[in-house]
Amino acid sequence: MKVEYQLEQVNNQIYVLAIWDAEWNTYTNAYLVEEEAGMTMVDSCKEGHLVFLQHALNKIGKTADDVKLMLVTHGHEDHVGGAALFTKARKVIHADETLPAEYSIRGELLDRGTIGEYDYRRVGYHSPGSVIFFHRPTRTLFTGDFLCFFGDPLSDGGLVSKGDDLRQAWFEYLEGGGVADLPEFLIGLKIMKEYDVDVLCTGHGGVLVGEIDVFLQELIAIGEKSR
């Protein structure tokens, strides 16, 4: 039987909360980042996951009011549903994503820029305004669902690991033609490769640590060969 959620420390500033969504048969991830100005939340899972968000915050000695910034990779319900919990936070998303007003998430992000200690870029592919966020102090890249492990089991190494088995699964998926818009996907991969990444925090499933540049380069090579 799968646990309802896992909370694990990724590095000295970042925690991953992976919630098992039995309806969609996948782990859905949200991230908590401890910073001097307050907590940052990257994505917030579904509205029905609010209790898990609260549990996770309590476990690290925080409350929802400690979250001062919420970064949203894209506007799908499994990434914005918990937004109502964070009433003290500035909540931002790319301007190309449209959301109901009750989420109180401002579409103020452009195609590239900085916000606090994060660089961001629009990568598209998964949705018109999908963005990635690069946390400069920890060299962590948040990819949302542009690159994730939707529906996959966790790596044999655990939630946070090198994840060789997950990497291999992505190689096979790409080789098998699983990516619908390959040219746009390759553009996004090349944008990601511009950053000096140590940790890859995805929208669903495993968090990858180490040799991220090698992983991205292999994906690009397979994609270029498949064009």
Model confidence pLDDT, tens digit, residues 163-178: 999 999 999 999 999 8
227 has pLDDT over 80: no
Task: Choose between 158 and 100: higher pLDDT.
Answer: 158
Report how far residue 144's alpha carbon sits from residue 74's, in angstroms, rounded to the nearest whole number. Answer: 7
Report how far residue 178's alpha carbon sits from residue 173's, in angstroms, rounded to the nearest whole number. Answer: 5
Report how far residue 203's alpha carbon sits from residue 80's, in angstroms, rounded to the nearest whole number. Answer: 12
136 has pLDDT over 80: yes
65 vs 57, 72, 164, CA distance in Å? 10, 18, 37
Give pLDDT, residue 1.
45
Give pLDDT, residue 20.
94
Give pLDDT, residue 2.
61
139 has pLDDT over 60: yes
**Strand duo 106-109 + 38-42: pairing:** unpaired
Taking Cα atoms as reference points, which of 51, 48, 14, 54 lies closest to residue 31? 14
Enumerate the β-bridge partners of residue 63: none
Report how far residue 219's alpha carbon sits from residue 135's, in angstroms, rounded to the nearest whole number. Answer: 22
**The total number of residues written for the chain in this structure:** 227
pTM strictly above 0.85: yes
Q: Provide the strand spans (E) within 81-206.
A: 90-94, 106-109, 112-115, 118-122, 131-135, 140-144, 160-161, 199-202
58 Cβ contact partners less than 8 Å away, ≥ 6 residues apart: none
Average pLDDT over residues 201-220: 97
- Hey, what domains does the chain have and what are their CATH numbers? 5-226 (3.60.15.10)
The number of beta carbons lying within 10 Å of the beta carbon of residue 194 is: 11
42 has pLDDT over 60: yes
Q: pLDDT above 90 covers what percent of the chain?
A: 92
- The band of 26, judged by pLDDT with boundaries at 50, 70 and 90, is very high
Per-residue b or e along 122-152, where b marks 16 or more CB atoms closer than 10 Å to that residue's CB: bbbbbbebbbbbbbeebebbbbbbbbbbeeb
